[in-house]
Amino acid sequence: MNLKTRSFITLLDYTPEEINYLINLSSKLKSEKYEGIPHKLLSDKNIVLLFQKDSTRTRCAFEVGALDLGMGVTFLGPSGSQMNKKESVKDTARVLGRMYDGIEFRGYKQKDVESLAKYSGVPVWNGLTDKYHPTQILADFLTIKEIFGYLKGINFTYIGDSRNNMGNSLMIGSAKLGINFIAVAPKELWPEQNLVDICLKIAKETGSTIRFTEDKMEGTKDVDVIYTDVWVSMGEPKEVWNTRIEQLNKYQVDMELMKNAKSTAIFMHCLPAFHDKETDVGASISEEFGDKFPRVKNGEMEVTDEVIESNYSVVFQEAENRMHTIKAVMLATLGGEYE
């Protein structure tokens, strides 16, 4: 498998074999890390991380992953560089490509990460855009594989805003790897039809199913995985909260829903999650909307505190796997020799 020089900007660009290769490589790198075996395989390389939006997991995964591989890392946040203000993405790409061996980008437009890949001449990794979050999917699937031992044939339900970056990317990833995908949400929050059509075609080849329902009990009945994400994503205006809570509060993942899945089912979330009042946003939303929508009164939105703290929940294993999978993506695309 040779992924050297490839960018990683959407899973649509990768074959099932390539995605499985990256998941297996992540698993090997994880074992080596646990055994204390160093893998500084890219010690002559430097990468730059461009973040227009906040991050804990993705940034730390790239930094720790890069350091474990022996690379130098530069972080550029939403302020502090010239990009977008005095310099176009295209010009920035042509500058950074002459200094760095790889570029990570987290931002708004998918078009920007595509431009970086087109003009930098080095591998570019999508650390989240409004449309896709492909590195997250590798971590999610590694976690499922660790728990169930396989991916093909897993029955997977994503419940919530199904046309955000997570909904889109999980649907693509599921289609590619033969996972049966169900999105549960009100119709207006289902993914765009053209992406659905692309995924249906892929699913046909891999032998999986993709379907959509507004019925949360039907859509979670006897599934292996229940996955959710925030109701309002980064970059969306504060004003959408009211409508989104109205649309999604009955789709909150609670114990009743988890018990409707298989007895061996797991709960997943890319994090960060609103499940208590311990965050500024969680506290202010519950204050503002708690009387009108009792489910959000305690700062619990897409998932209850009980579920995220329960034995169903694998969210921190999933978060750790961000690092092992991102490391694998960097190693494979920068061409580090690995036996």
User: Which residues are catalytically annotated?
Assistant: 106, 133, 136, 229, 270, 322
Assess 225 for contact with ligand NVA (CB under 6 A).
no
Tell me the sheet residues that pair with 184.
159, 213
Chosen residue from 172, 270, 285, 303 binding ligand CP by CB under 6 A: 270
The SS3 call for residue 232 is coil
Angle, helices 134-148 vs 57-68, to 10°: value is: 80
Assess 233 for contact with ligand NVA (CB under 6 A).
yes
Chosen residue from 66, 196, 225, 230 binding ligand NVA by CB under 6 A: 230
Nearer to ligand CP among residue 108 and residue 212 (C-beta): 108
**Which one, of 202, 208, 171, 201, lies nearest residue 189 by Cα?**
171
The SS3 call for residue 211 is strand
CB of 207 to ligand NVA, least distance (A): 29
Helix runs in the chain, H state only: 16-35, 57-68, 89-99, 110-120, 134-148, 165-177, 193-206, 216-220, 240-248, 255-260, 280-289, 305-308, 315-334
CB of 222 to ligand CP, least distance (A): 27
Chosen residue from 164, 180, 220, 260 binding ligand NVA by CB under 6 A: 164
Q: CA 333: distance to chain centroid?
A: 19
Assess 315 for contact with ligand CP (CB under 6 A).
no
Assess 129 for contact with ligand NVA (CB under 6 A).
no
DSSP code of residue 191: P
Chosen residue from 165, 304, 313, 321 binding ligand NVA by CB under 6 A: 165
In the complex, the residues that contact ligand NVA under the rule CB under 6 A are 128, 164-166, 229-230, 233-234, 270
In the complex, the residues that contact ligand CP under the rule CB under 6 A are 55-58, 128, 136, 270-272
